[in-house]
């Protein structure tokens, strides 16, 4: 097949990008397609560039609901196989990590997220999560998931990974990642990301170029989960737009032959597909032109050019590089062969279509929802419980619900009320509570038996710290629910109880409600070390987690330990890749 393809068709197979619209011939987002690609519809984008793959996002109109997604997938395959198309079925891809990064909302199963999974330390649940993602995406016509994240989140100040990671423990992340891959690849291709490890950065590569300076021994820890993924047979590995000085002090992994060919291919033995992270991220566009980055990525060893900001310039640059000998056509053939062999092995060449009639029975089914709730239940981590502040008594306790707006306390309050608590609600927008909001909350605390405060990365937020201190000074017990990164306890010495939920979606908060009500006994354990606020020592180690000493008299009936009502992630959930 490769021998009969033109160079332009080969480069097209290596080009995977997003399209705007909810169906192949949708013109409602024609202005966006015109601005980026010079054509009107998703089908025309596929056919103009002979695309090898497409990438779905919510903001590009691709993921309105499962039935629509299945229809889009099938109609794009029609476009690829039409006379005007490449004649080769598409890789249909998405970032559906679960938790913070989830492009498909309900009724698809909303998972608690990777760090919640990490707090369970349970490989059976990890495999089940992979199976849910694989089965539901396959039903929607997606054949590649850019997941799981296997980065070790060893830097509490990491702005882009955080709870997208399964933790900091090398062995645990390796085992959980391999289990997710095994589950997912029963259905579709999985992708381990972001190689060689994005977990110890202080810069978000969406906005800048991170540099990590640790030595090779530390790098080897970050590489172990990728080696476990390779040993598990992962189909793809996604690169990181970061400079790892221990391997290449000059170029980011995406563009470095030392990283992609020397380390990943030769040293670690990976023979699957390498894809770049999205090439429209600032870590790339601030330093290289589109043609430069595309040529350099292929020279480095990548097979896929993902989400190029200027596909025309990308293709022209690669064509010129082949013409002048900077890239041999044999090198192009290697990648195209690898892509086509993957499509054959995954059954994409034989039958790329999905059955729309199967969507309802698979996507968001009761078994999947119950598994998601189980992961959430098992993840809740009790870090402090002074004077047995928890659990509360549903029959008698009045609860004031407040917190950082970015942690969505307005989601948690009604859920506590639905469970039977008398709830006082005081909410405000933003991650930093205003003095006026703090005063309102302090005044309302006098009418409550307990305060539930939802925090959001409070270790670096003085306003949240001040609000919790002011609430604690009222004498009303304060329960902090750390809804984002797991380190907030290091600034909340005055809180009576601290629970980590590792997310603020309904599935996470459903488990929080059950823990507060005593329907479940918290059993999660920290998947990361929590440092003191100055970073000089460890406050709480990996594996730390407390439990209620026994079921309280007012613990709820068994039916309250099940799956919550379903709802999706907030609109602001998650970066691109």
- Name the residues annotated as catalytic: 206, 277
Q: What is the token pair recorded at 1?
A: 């097949």
CA angle 264, 304, 93 (to 5 degrees): 110
Length of the chain: 577
Contacts by 243-252, CB closer than 8 A, 24 or more apart? 243/209, 243/210, 243/211, 243/212, 244/196, 244/197, 244/212, 244/219, 245/211, 245/212, 245/213, 246/214, 246/215, 246/216, 246/218, 246/219, 247/196, 247/216, 247/219, 251/296, 251/300, 252/209, 252/283, 252/284
Selection from 374, 339, 340, 335 nearest residue 520 by Cα: 374
In 213-304, beta strands by DSSP E? 236-239, 243-244, 273-275
Q: What is the token pair recorded at 167?
A: 């933790």
Selection from 569, 574, 521 nearest residue 548 by Cα: 521
In 133-258, beta strands by DSSP E? 144-145, 189-195, 211-212, 236-239, 243-244
Q: What is the token pair recorded at 240?
A: 């990181």
Alpha-carbon distance of 161 to 199, in angstroms, equals 6
What is the dihedral sign for C-alpha 298, 301, 306, 308?
A: negative
Those residues whose C-beta lies under 8 Å from the C-beta of residue 525, and which sit 6 or more positions away, are: 119, 121, 381, 542, 543, 544, 545
Selection from 141, 236, 221, 219 nearest residue 185 by Cα: 236
What is the dihedral sign for C-alpha 32, 37, 38, 42?
A: negative
Alpha-carbon distance of 403 to 427, in angstroms, equals 7
Q: How far is CA 230 from CA 45, 133, 273, 277, in A?
A: 33, 20, 11, 18
CA angle 322, 323, 325 (to 5 degrees): 60
Element (H, E) at 226: helix 216-231
Element (H, E) at 174: helix 170-184
| Exposure on the CB side of residue 187, measured as CA atoms within 13 A | 24
Three-state secondary-structure class, residue 89: coil
Q: What is the token pair recorded at 538?
A: 């460890």
Alpha-carbon distance of 488 to 368, in angstroms, equals 31
């Amino acid at each position: 097949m490769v021998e009969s393809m033109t160079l332009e068709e080969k480069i097209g197979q290596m080009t995977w990008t997003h399209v705007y619209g909810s169906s192949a011939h949708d013109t409602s987002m024609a202005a966006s397609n015109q601005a980026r690609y010079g054509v009107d519809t998703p089908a025309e984008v596929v056919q103009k560039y002979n695309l090898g793959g497409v990438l779905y996002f919510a903001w590009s109109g691709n993921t309105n609901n499962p039935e629509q997604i299945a229809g889009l997938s099938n109609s794009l395959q029609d476009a690829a196989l039409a006379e005007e198309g490449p004649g080769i079925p598409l890789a249909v891809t998405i970032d559906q990590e679960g938790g913070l990064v989830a492009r498909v909302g309900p009724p698809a199963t909303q998972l608690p997220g990777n760090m919640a999974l990490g707090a369970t330390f349970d490989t059976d649940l990890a495999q089940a999560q992979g199976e849910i993602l694989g089965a539901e995406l396959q039903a929607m016509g997606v054949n590649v998931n850019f997941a799981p994240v296997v980065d070790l989140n060893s830097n509490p100040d990491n702005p882009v990974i955080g709870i997208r990671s399964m933790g900091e423990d090398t062995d645990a992340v390796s085992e959980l990642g391999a289990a997710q891959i095994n589950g997912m690849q029963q259905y579709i291709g999985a992708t381990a990301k972001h190689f060689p490890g994005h977990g110890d950065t202080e810069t978000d590569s969406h906005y800048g170029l991170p540099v990590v300076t640790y030595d090779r021994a530390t790098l080897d820890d970050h590489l172990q989960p990728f080696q476990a993924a390779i040993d598990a047979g992962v189909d793809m590995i996604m690169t990181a737009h970061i400079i790892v000085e221990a391997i290449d002090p000059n170029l980011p992994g995406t563009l470095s032959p030392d990283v992609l060919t020397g380390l990943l291919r030769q040293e670690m033995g990976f023979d699957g597909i390498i894809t770049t992270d999205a090439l429209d991220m600032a870590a790339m566009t601030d330093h290289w032109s589109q043609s430069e980055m595309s040529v350099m990525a292929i020279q480095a060893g990548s097979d896929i050019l993902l989400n190029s900001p200027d596909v025309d310039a990308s293709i022209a640059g690669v064509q010129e590089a082949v013409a002048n000998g900077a890239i041999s056509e044999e090198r192009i053939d290697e990648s195209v062969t690898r892509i086509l062999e993957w499509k054959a092995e995954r059954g994409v060449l034989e039958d790329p279509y999905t059955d729309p009639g199967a969507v309802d029975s698979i996507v968001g089914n009761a078994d999947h929802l119950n598994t998601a709730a189980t992961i959430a239940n098992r993840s809740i981590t009790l870090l402090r419980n002074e004077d047995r502040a928890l659990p509360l008594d549903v029959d008698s306790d009045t609860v004031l619900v407040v917190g950082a707006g970015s942690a969505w306390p307005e989601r948690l309050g009604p859920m506590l009320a639905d469970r039977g608590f008398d709830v006082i609600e005081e909410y405000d927008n933003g991650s930093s509570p205003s003095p006026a909001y703090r005063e309102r909350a302090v005044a309302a605390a006098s009418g409550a038996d307990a305060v539930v405060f939802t925090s959001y990365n409070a270790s670096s937020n003085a306003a949240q710290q001040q609000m919790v201190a002011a609430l604690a000074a009222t004498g009303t017990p304060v329960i902090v629910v750390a809804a984002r990164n797991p380190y907030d306890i290091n600034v909340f010495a005055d809180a009576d109880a601290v629970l980590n939920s590792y997310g603020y979606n309904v599935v996470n908060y459903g488990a929080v409600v059950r823990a507060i009500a005593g329907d479940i006994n918290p059993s999660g354990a920290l998947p990361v070390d929590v440092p003191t606020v100055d970073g000089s020592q460890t406050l709480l180690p990996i594996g730390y987690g407390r439990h209620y000493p026994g079921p309280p008299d007012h613990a709820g009936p068994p039916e309250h330990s099940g799956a919550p009502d379903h709802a999706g992630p907030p609109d602001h959930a998650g970066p691109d890749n």
